[in-house]
Amino acid sequence: MSQNTIAYQGHAGAYSHLSCTKVFPSMNAHACDSFSQAMFMVERGEAKLAMIPIENSTAGRVEEIYRLMPKTQLHIIAEHFEPVNHCLLALPGTTLDELKTISSHPQALAQCNSAIEALDLQQIAHLDTAGSAEELATLKQPAHAAIASTLAAKLYNLDILKENFQDISGNTTRFIILSKEKQIPTFEADKTFITTIMFRVRNIPSALFKSMGGFATNGVNMVKLESYMASNSMSITSFHLDVEGHPDQPQMQLALQELEFFSSEMRVIGTYLSHPYRGDNEAEPSGESFT
């Protein structure tokens, strides 16, 4: 099954599942209980790819992913930005005025709070969005609703009473697509590439400042820099860096040489095409999406 399987975390109908069906419609999407399970399925060769959320425009970064990546030898081969359309779901035939309660992931409830209050519904927190839809379909509570995706509505045979139920539109999740095999696209001057690097700096004064200097002096744009503690002692800081560039470009080669000189560890974990969302939008995204 591995060559046609893409793993994701969450229930069937989760936003991660929705992203799998959009980007890889011919692949079999496999639900996993955790991010680590999805990633290590790829590491062991039990799945070809994994669709993993790394940041959300409302909720911020998915901290766990930064800690899991160094424990694998996986490569980022692509990125995907998924706008999240929260839908108000109910059992077939249910009307809005019949609803009394509503469940979903706490972030989804928070993002739809004003809409929920307008309907005077009692909120019930659930572990994830798709799980709340599955529970509604299983228990068949006539006065109950769930907030989840359009895919969840289809999978669990629920009516969509309202689409774009969130209070503010524009919340998007960025996913990375992981593979056991390295896949670096051929450099083309008219295309934008993202290169992702994990590194730790040497224990010298101003090491981070010096390690970043090569990108500035060579005109390489840094689009993301995240730090996280890499040990239980809180004494080792690791960094996750995204830059616009391809390793075949001379300026990137010079910048990477300087970064490597000031780093105690450095690993390029992927070079891939920049997703169109980056260019179309310096915009905002749409919904919860980690589940």
Which residues are annotated as catalytic?
173, 175
**What is the distance between the alpha carbons of residues 98 and 91, in angstroms, rounded to a whole number?**
11
Q: Edge-to-edge strands of the sheet including 237-244?
A: 222-229, 237-244, 193-201, 263-273
Q: Minimal CA–CA distance to 269: which of 175, 178, 163?
A: 178
Q: Minimal CA–CA distance to 47: which of 152, 178, 206?
A: 178
**What is the distance between the alpha carbons of residues 161 and 145, in angstroms, rounded to a whole number?**
9
How many CB atoms lie under 10 A from the CB of residue 11? 24
How many CB atoms lie under 10 A from the CB of residue 255? 26
